[in-house]
Structure 1
Amino acid sequence: MAIDFPPSLTDTIVALSTPPGVGAIAVVRLSGPDAIRLTDEVFAGKRLRDQPGHTLHYGTIRDDGRILDEVVVSLFRGPYSYTREDVVEISTHGSDYIVRELLALLLRRGARLAEAGEFTKRAFLHGAFDLAQAEAVADLIAADSALSHQVALRQMRGGFSQELKDLRARLVKFAALLELELDFGEEDVEFADRTGLTQLLQEVQTLVQRLLRSFELGNVIKNGVTTVIAGRPNAGKSTLLNALLNEERAIVSDIAGTTRDLIEDEVSLDGIRFRFVDTAGLRDTTDVVESIGVERTLKRVQQAAIVVYLFDITTTSPAQLEAEIEALPLPTGTTVLAVGNKLDAASEAQPAAFRARPGTVLIAASQGTGLAELREALLAQVRGAGLDRTGQSTIVTNVRHARSLEQAAQHLAAVLAGLGAGTGTELLAADLRHALAALGQITGEISNDDLLTSIFTEFCIGK
């Protein structure tokens, strides 16, 4: 894709690339045609313009003879750098004062403060990677679980992009033949084999639908699984939360209605981040504060991906359990996992009444009994969505990508319908062009300034 670089992208930019605040080291990064020259003007050490790329240099930063700090300068010459431009990274001591003074000094020398995501935007515009890979950089930085890291890394290394390019390449050949038919419209000739095109579209549509189905799982991996622990008072919800987190996070008491507000915390199970929410016990109450807690519980249930409905097996019958679950305001797609607690206090007959119920786990939260089975049951809900533990399957995690895939699927369906109905070449070609454009928007083969601005402003300044 030929790129016409606006003047702002030929400036030399500078920004702090490490988190702001006091630390051992801070890294100030420059990128652009004058990155090396500007650094040379303030760096006392080897003359950087005479040094090869991928080298480190020790020296001092000076401002009109005043030594600001002792630093190490990393030199990267384009195109062998992150942005494909000349890049200099100055490692200073992590003082806010030093960083402010250094940035001000470089700005006075002619650098411009980088915009959010501008280093990665330049890398994209210079062809270092495509748009989907660029977005994966932000996902990789934000990854806070083994799986979210794995998925982001695979996307950043081009796994998703390659799959999309293969899809587009298969469609482009037929699209070109349809366009050729339009050029010879008056001669009533067909260059594109309709049977072959139908078969290809069905295969591509199957792949697109698989990617769309993976988005639900990808959203879970990226954002975590909201898991609400609900149930009647004194079922042991706070005890269960503490046991899952392995810490005393919630107050535990025999007094009914102790928990009156939501208590949330996260834990990683086999690389998947679960956000557990302890809630107020569900019951009718005249206590104003407890009523507010119950109302909040019901609202949180409506936002949950999984509801762990905890019940006391010593006081609950199977019929009561079914009625209580039936009364929950569950949205479509929310899974309910029935968990019977206080196994240690139950008679032999009481747990037997629930063992035959599908999807029921029996535990003693205070003793830690059955927690391994509960964790496996929670993981099974996610793995049931098609989780590939090898990391080789492409998983869509980005809302923008999912929307583009939906658009592509709609236009591919229109082409298939048109082929079945004998629709003219002009309409078939138009729908196929729209499908190709939707796929191209994901990788940036087809993009516009508004789209790029929207994407890269989500990045941090120094990236």
Structure 2
Amino acid sequence: MSSHFSRIGDTIVALATPQGVGAIAVIRLSGKEAIQITNRVFFGKNLEEQASHTIHFGTLRDGDRVIDEVLVSVFISPRSFTKENVVEISTHGSSYIINQVLRLLIRQGARPAEPGEFTQRAFLNGQFDLAQAEAVADLIHSDSEASHQAALHQMRGGFSQEIRELREKLIHFASMIELELDFTEEDVEFASRDDLRVLVEKLLRVVENLISSFDLGNVIKNGVPTVIAGKPNAGKSTLLNALLNEERAIVSDIAGTTRDSIEDEINIGGVMFRFIDTAGLRETTDTVEAMGVNRTREKMKSASLILYLFDLGDTDMVEINRDVNKLENIGVPFIKVANKLDKSNNQFISELKEKYPDTIFISAGKKENLDVLKEKVLELVNLDKFRTGNTVVTNIRHFDSLTRTRQSLLDVLTGLDEEVTNDFVAMDIRRSLHYLGEITGEITTDDLLANIFSKFCIGK
């Protein structure tokens, strides 16, 4: 069990802004004595006499020595992020000043905060549930519009509300069945089995939708792994450089230059894509190049999207047909991208358009039609469900709990079909409630909380 669970009454302090030199830094305290501790070293107004949500100018001093001129923001319990007394001190962003202030406050009775301890206290004090607390970390780490919106929706309680509604309906039936167990000799029915079946089937549909949204949620949170695959010298590295607008990959006329995969990210339409430039697909006797080709095939199988790139001036229809068949067998969505427009003839282009009308024609070297390619890439991700405001599951822990919930609900239906006794039905319902409760924190263990909040940054 993490040590700070038993020290919840301490006043904690940490730097809330990133490490390093900057214009300002914010040092945050939370706890019963946060205002008194700060007041002992702050020279300005008496902070203990000030109203909540006020800001005050003054100096921080260690004895007679002035450390810095600061602004101090006061938040009085329960009107703060943690629902405790909170003070935020804005200092100049010198690392020397920051260290001096932290050491001063620790000598006055505060202790250094552990990772995620501010957010953990907010959860323990009922500011929000566990799913919302986890969304705080996701919001901090969001690097695209889509991941930002998903985290914000979860932090505001959209996901939690759906889970709470599911639990409340199940709790009602669970209590009715438990009541029946107290009247087994009376042969009374407080909970209609038909109504319970209707409810469980309805809940299953909701849970299934949430589970199925995880693929999209994972893409939104972690980016779309997109492999650029094709023969050597098809222009894969040139395309990666063109998409990134920088010379990230080595470009050469010598076939087989790329021996291992090169990855980088680009934001397209508010979604992060992890583009992976791979070794060219061909048979080779070069041991190192062969290893790269094998890795390419593995990357293709694990990708969410493949850009099949071929050189219009060095590829015939037979080869394209063969490659398309292989890609279809892999089962990963792919886009046919015809590169080097200036090296082809109109007849071959017409044949391609007739047989594969969804082919995207580009010139990576001249950066022609890249916008068309980006639009097609974004289209295949299919963010319609996300953009209509539906809840999207982005957390693997939530996905796991929902999967267990689904199995428990299926067990309830099996029990009803086989007309098992009430105690077994009640047991399956209680398991469903347990797994749903794990998501929002109604069911927790200290180890679970320690694991979740240890992944937060210090100061949050």
Normalized against structure 2, the TM-score is what? Answer: 0.95
User: Cα distance, 1:295 vs. partner?
Assistant: 3.7
The range that moved more, 318-327 or 190-199, is 318-327
C-alpha distance in structure 1 between counterparts of 2:357 and 2:346, whole Å: 19
- Deviations 1:83-133, CA, capped at 9 Å, x for gaps: 000000111111111111111111111111111100000001110000000
C-alpha distance in structure 2 between counterparts of 1:432 and 1:386, whole Å: 34
Partner of 2:414: 417
Amino acid at match of 2:410: A
In the alignment, is the contact (CA less than 8 A) between 2:12 and 2:111 conserved in 1?
yes
- Deviations 1:334-378, CA, capped at 9 Å, x for gaps: 322222222332112212332232653232223333323321221
User: Cα distance, 1:414 vs. partner?
Assistant: 0.6
Written as runs of structure 1 = structure 2, the 5 A alignment for 1:94-243 is 94-243=93-242
C-alpha distance in structure 2 between counterparts of 1:185 and 1:357, whole Å: 68
Partner of 2:459: 462
Normalized against structure 1, the TM-score is what? Answer: 0.94
C-alpha distance in structure 1 between counterparts of 2:180 and 2:384, whole Å: 42
- Deviations 1:302-353, CA, capped at 9 Å, x for gaps: 332212111123332333223335556986x532222222233211221233
User: Cα distance, 1:289 vs. partner?
Assistant: 4.2
User: Cα distance, 1:386 vs. partner?
Assistant: 4.9
In the alignment, is the contact (CA less than 8 A) between 1:314 and 1:350 conserved in 2?
no
Partner of 2:255: 256
1:388 partner SS: helix
In the alignment, is the contact (CA less than 8 A) between 1:257 and 1:280 conserved in 2?
yes
Gaps of 5+ in 2: none
CA RMSD of aligned residues (A): 1.9
Partner of 1:445: 442
Amino acid at match of 1:353: E
The range that moved more, 6-15 or 403-412, is 6-15
1:302 partner SS: helix
Partner of 2:332: 334
Q: Structure 1 residues 235, 194: CA separation in 2 closer, same or farther (over 3 Å shift)? A: same
Matched residues, number: 456
C-alpha distance in structure 2 between counterparts of 1:104 and 1:438, whole Å: 43
User: Cα distance, 1:239 vs. partner?
Assistant: 1.8
In the alignment, is the contact (CA less than 8 A) between 1:298 and 1:329 conserved in 2?
no
1:10 partner SS: coil
1:21 partner SS: coil
C-alpha distance in structure 2 between counterparts of 1:418 and 1:279, whole Å: 51
User: Cα distance, 1:6 vs. partner?
Assistant: 5.5
In the alignment, is the contact (CA less than 8 A) between 2:216 and 2:392 conserved in 1?
yes
User: Cα distance, 1:224 vs. partner?
Assistant: 0.1
Q: Which residue of 420, 431, 435 corresponds with 1:434?
A: 431
In the alignment, is the contact (CA less than 8 A) between 2:327 and 2:334 conserved in 1?
no
Partner of 2:25: 26
Partner of 1:84: 83
Written as runs of structure 1 = structure 2, the 5 A alignment for 1:232-311 is 232-311=231-310
1:29 partner SS: strand
User: Cα distance, 1:188 vs. partner?
Assistant: 2.1
The range that moved more, 166-175 or 28-37, is 166-175
Gaps of 5+ in 1: none
Q: Which residue of 402, 406, 417 corresponds with 1:405?
A: 402
Identical-residue share of aligned pairs (%): 56
Partner of 2:344: 346
- Deviations 1:168-225, CA, capped at 9 Å, x for gaps: 1122111111111111112222111111111111111000000000000000000000
Partner of 2:63: 64
The range that moved more, 284-293 or 58-67, is 284-293
- Deviations 1:61-81, CA, capped at 9 Å, x for gaps: 111211111111111001000
C-alpha distance in structure 2 between counterparts of 1:6 and 1:294, whole Å: 51
1:120 partner SS: helix
Amino acid at match of 2:343: A
In the alignment, is the contact (CA less than 8 A) between 1:13 and 1:31 conserved in 2?
yes
C-alpha distance in structure 2 between counterparts of 1:321 and 1:143, whole Å: 39
The range that moved more, 63-72 or 346-355, is 346-355
2:380 partner SS: helix
C-alpha distance in structure 2 between counterparts of 1:217 and 1:36, whole Å: 45
Amino acid at match of 2:109: G
Partner of 2:385: 387
C-alpha distance in structure 1 between counterparts of 2:89 and 2:440, whole Å: 32
Q: Structure 1 residues 197, 235: CA separation in 2 closer, same or farther (over 3 Å shift)? A: same
Amino acid at match of 2:296: T
User: Cα distance, 1:19 vs. partner?
Assistant: 0.7
C-alpha distance in structure 2 between counterparts of 1:218 and 1:138, whole Å: 15
User: Cα distance, 1:424 vs. partner?
Assistant: 1.3
C-alpha distance in structure 2 between counterparts of 1:97 and 1:314, whole Å: 62
The range that moved more, 166-175 or 135-144, is 166-175
The range that moved more, 217-226 or 285-294, is 285-294
Q: Structure 1 residues 329, 92: CA separation in 2 closer, same or farther (over 3 Å shift)? A: farther
C-alpha distance in structure 2 between counterparts of 1:253 and 1:102, whole Å: 55
2:387 partner SS: coil
In the alignment, is the contact (CA less than 8 A) between 2:130 and 2:439 conserved in 1?
yes
Partner of 1:52: 51
C-alpha distance in structure 1 between counterparts of 2:373 and 2:194, whole Å: 51
The range that moved more, 246-255 or 319-328, is 319-328
C-alpha distance in structure 2 between counterparts of 1:9 and 1:330, whole Å: 56
C-alpha distance in structure 1 between counterparts of 2:34 and 2:6, whole Å: 16
C-alpha distance in structure 1 between counterparts of 2:403 and 2:6, whole Å: 36
In the alignment, is the contact (CA less than 8 A) between 1:302 and 1:329 conserved in 2?
no
